[in-house]
Amino acid sequence: MKDTKIITNNLKQMRKERGIKQKFVAEQLGISPNYYSQIENGHRQPQIEHLLKLRCIFSVSLDDIFFNNMIANRDKNYLGGN
């Protein structure tokens, strides 16, 4: 479940950084905005087909979706930050 939380946090962060609405992402995925909201809030797991489309929508790699915050936190800790 921890891995899902990382993924959903990364998706939410990427969407907000780009100023994209959940409704737009949902339309691109072919799902309802409510369904996408449930993915971002960790109530549903994204399907692999959604992850593949999300990487194109956000112009990122799957590594960014799965590990973005973990990598940032690891680098921050490595550099002596908190």
What is the pTM assigned to this prediction? 0.77
Per-residue pLDDT of the chain (82 residues), as tens digits, is 567 888 999 999 999 999 999 999 999 999 999 999 999 999 999 999 999 999 999 999 998 998 875 554 444 454 455 5
Q: Is the dihedral of CA 28, 29, 34, 39 positive or negative?
A: negative
Three-state DSSP at 18 gives coil
